[in-house]
Amino acid sequence: MKVMVPVKRVVDYNVKVRVKSDGTGVETANVKMSMNPFDEIGIEEALRLKEAGSATEVIAVSCGPAACQETLRTALALGADRAILVQTDVELQPLAVAKLLKALVDKEQPKMAIVGKQAIDDDCNQTGQMLSALLGWSQATFASKVKVDGDKLTVTREVDGGLETINITLPAVITTDLRLNEPRYVTLPNIMKAKKKPLETLTPEALGVDVTPRLITLKVAEPPTRKAGIKVPDVKALVDKLKNEAKVIS
Amino acid sequence: MSTLVIADHDNQALKGATRNTIAAASRLGSDVVVLVAGSGCQAVAQSAAAVAGVSKVLLADSPHYKDGLPESLADFVVGLAGGGQYGHILASATAFGKSVAPRIAALLDVAQVSEIISVESPDTFVRPIYAGNAFATVQSKDRIKVITVRATGFDAAAANGGTGIVESVAAGPDSGKSALVGRELTKSDRPELTAAKVIVSGGRGMGSAEAFKVLEPLADKLGAAMGASRAAVDAGYVPNDWQVGQTGKIVAPELYFAVGISGAIQHLAGMKDSRVIVAINKDEEAPIFSVADYGIVGDLFQVVPELVKELG
């Protein structure tokens, strides 16, 4: 079974993002970029499936500008077998990405796609579900545990209020939650090896996909800031403030 | 044109977040129709019809809608909406809504606007990006707008006072693509985190699972839900679903106690819209104090019991 894992290049999770002064977006020039953490978990899960003998090949794919090659090289260094970049400078929204991924699935015929549950830049939480719907595949979102048994999967999902376990049949899209696994580190020898692994570049046009954005971002603004309050000397003063100033307890 | 709200429920009761979504739907200027798809969920349909602002409830009762599995349900909604009578399709940004709404959008070939916190006009919405570190105002020109709604952005519509009618609709086919095996839901007499008026959360500063017990009398006294930071969850002190933060639950109660929580950006993203924040931490430099309305620098194991006593 081939497994496809999409990876997105995003502002590193440690970077404190700054809104551009003209309100058109956030500052991404000269900012550290990394693989979306949920996608890293996706790569790790696919590698574990391969190591356990359930998967035969792990294909990392990315959609976006030429710089996404770096993200794909990271995926290859982690252990993916080969990579495909759908290169475009158009702003890609989740529906467009899902259509590109569907075109890649049609071409490569994987039985499973492991998709990060959301990207930490736009926080959309859509692409995996959209891909699953476009393909007519089964879907298991927010996975914290995946067990493969032939063409049946048992997936434990993180839902509001606890955990839920479902059975699905392949082919399927799984989206990763934080506790699915702890991704391995990239080692230097593997970075060297990754340079020799195949990385194919395609375009949306070659795949016959229209990626025109559907949503227009009118403005990006700083969220309202919360002012620091006061330190109170003791519990008595705190209770007094809560009762008489904030009036949140009676 | 009407607005269709997909109800999140457990076949017995409407989930609280659905009423926040109905409130968002009411801002769109069209009739609000609620879809209750489930099994043996007549009572849910009745309570949805009673929510203020609801004009009609569509009840689709069939065993394959019982567990809220997304594949069959999305196909069904696409069938309902295919005629173009709905200009907007809304779901709550809960695990359920987030699973099903993008499928519907993709099948209708329209964009989804995720986790809106404000309706500016029927086609323009505000949504947080970068874990709430920026707010984007986005406009959708698609013929049908599929939207998920963050509950903390809208005050819930009143549970009573509505005069909606309940209409049964024929269910769609079962896709057979997934089946529920079981659920392990945390049993608790406390209110649900995302619906609670008061939340008492503990962080890594609690030091152990055992130590979380010191927070219980405080939560009991205030009728509060209990939460935790990611650090406390990762340390195994409390279950995953207690986590408040960017990758956990987004909450906005009237009163939030952050106890032994340093205030990582990750955590702040999940609670900074709370009306009043109280921080208890022994490190006076902890970032949590920069968002707290009231802070006490001190040992939580002394401060919390004293607080319980002072509350009487």
Q: What is the pLDDT along chain A (250 residues), one digit of tens a residue?
A: 999 999 999 999 888 899 999 999 999 989 999 999 999 999 999 999 999 999 999 999 999 999 999 999 999 999 999 999 999 999 999 999 999 999 999 999 999 999 999 999 999 999 999 999 999 999 999 999 999 999 999 999 999 888 999 999 999 999 999 989 999 999 999 999 999 999 999 999 999 999 999 999 999 999 988 888 999 999 999 999 999 999 998 8
- Picking from B138, B246, B297, the nearest residue to A231 by CB comes out as B297
pLDDT reported for residue A149: 94
- Which of A15, A16, A139, A156 is the best mutation test for B, with the most CBs of B within 10 A? A139
pLDDT reported for residue B186: 76
From A128, which residue of chain B is nearest by alpha-carbon distance? B102
**Residue type for B248, please?**
G
Cα–Cα distance for residue pair A133/A120, rounded to 1 Å: 22
Q: How many residues does chain A have?
A: 250
Q: Smallest Cα–Cα separation from B278: which of A236, A244, A239?
A: A239
pLDDT reported for residue B188: 78
pLDDT reported for residue A79: 98
CB-CB neighbours of A63 under 10 Å: 29
CA torsion sign, B302 to B307 to B308 to B309? Answer: positive
Cα–Cα distance for residue pair B203/A232, rounded to 1 Å: 21
Which distant-in-sequence residues (6+ apart) come within 8 Å of A127 by Cβ?
A6, A94, A97, A98, A101, A115, A119, B102
B134 and A214 in contact by Cβ < 8 A?
no
Query: Containing H/E element for A22?
Result: none
Give B99-144 pLDDT, tens digit per residue. 999 999 999 999 999 999 999 999 999 999 998 889 999 999 999 9
| CA angle, A57 then A58 then A62, to 5° | 145
From B288, which residue of chain A is nearest by alpha-carbon distance? A228
When pLDDT is averaged across residues B240-248 and rounded to a whole number, the result is 87
- B239: distance to nearest CA of chain A, Å? 8
Cα–Cα distance for residue pair B100/A68, rounded to 1 Å: 29
B178 and A167 in contact by Cβ < 8 A?
yes
SS (H, E, C) chain B: CEEEEECCECCCCECHHHHHHHHHHHCCCCEEEEEEEECCCHHHHHHHHCCCCEEEEEEEECHHHCCCCHHHHHHHHHHHHCCCCEEEEEEECCHHHHHHHHHHHHHHCCCEEEEECEEEECCEEEEEEHHHCEEEEEEECCCCEEEEECHHHCCCCCCCCCCCEEEECCCCCCCCCEEEEEEEECCCCCCCHHHCCEEEEECHHHCCCHHHHHHHHHHHHHCCEEEECHHHHHCCCCCHHHEECCCCECCCCCEEEEECCCCCHHHHHHHCCCCEEEEEECCCCCHHHHCCCEEEECCHHHHHHHHHHHHC
Give B21-35 pLDDT, tens digit per residue. 999 999 999 999 999
ipTM for this model: 0.95
- Which of B98, B149, B306 is the best mutation test for A, with the most CBs of A within 10 A? B98
Residues of B in contact with A11 (CB under 8 A): 130
pLDDT reported for residue B64: 96
When pLDDT is averaged across residues B180-204 and rounded to a whole number, the result is 90
Cα–Cα distance for residue pair A160/A174, rounded to 1 Å: 18
- Picking from B95, B294, B306, the nearest residue to A229 by CB comes out as B294
pLDDT reported for residue A250: 80
pLDDT reported for residue B266: 85
Residues of B in contact with A216 (CB under 8 A): 138-141
Residues of B in contact with A127 (CB under 8 A): 102
Q: Write A181-184 long-range contacts (CB < 8 A, 24+).
A: A181/A41, A181/A44, A181/A45, A181/A48, A182/A44, A183/A40, A183/A41, A183/A43, A183/A44, A183/A78, A184/A44, A184/A47, A184/A78, A184/A79
CB-CB neighbours of A178 under 10 Å: 21
In the block, tokens 């939207």 appear at B147
pLDDT reported for residue A14: 86
- Which of A129, A158, A174, A250 is the best mutation test for B, with the most CBs of B within 10 A? A129
When pLDDT is averaged across residues B261-283 and rounded to a whole number, the result is 93
**Residue type for A143, please?**
A
Residues of A in contact with B184 (CB under 8 A): 162-165
Q: In the numeric block, which tokens belong to residue A68?
A: 């996404």
- Picking from B102, B131, B182, the nearest residue to A129 by CB comes out as B102
Q: How confident is the model at residue B309 (pLDDT cuts 50, 70, 90)?
A: very high
Residues of A in contact with B183 (CB under 8 A): 159, 162-165
CA distances from B112 to B125, B211, B271 (A): 11, 43, 25
pLDDT reported for residue A26: 96
When pLDDT is averaged across residues B75-85 and rounded to a whole number, the result is 94
Cα–Cα distance for residue pair B236/B97, rounded to 1 Å: 28
Which distant-in-sequence residues (6+ apart) come within 8 Å of A84 by Cβ?
A59, A60, A61, A62, A72, A104, A108, A199, A200, A201, A202
pLDDT reported for residue B298: 96
Q: Smallest Cα–Cα separation from B166: which of B46, B283, B287?
A: B46
Cα–Cα distance for residue pair B181/A243, rounded to 1 Å: 47
pLDDT reported for residue A231: 95
A216 and B95 in contact by Cβ < 8 A?
no
Q: Smallest Cα–Cα separation from B19: which of B127, B225, B164?
A: B164
CA distances from B107 to A63, A110, A136, A219 (A): 21, 21, 10, 28
- A40 burial (CB, 10 Å; 0-12 / 13-18 / 19+) is buried
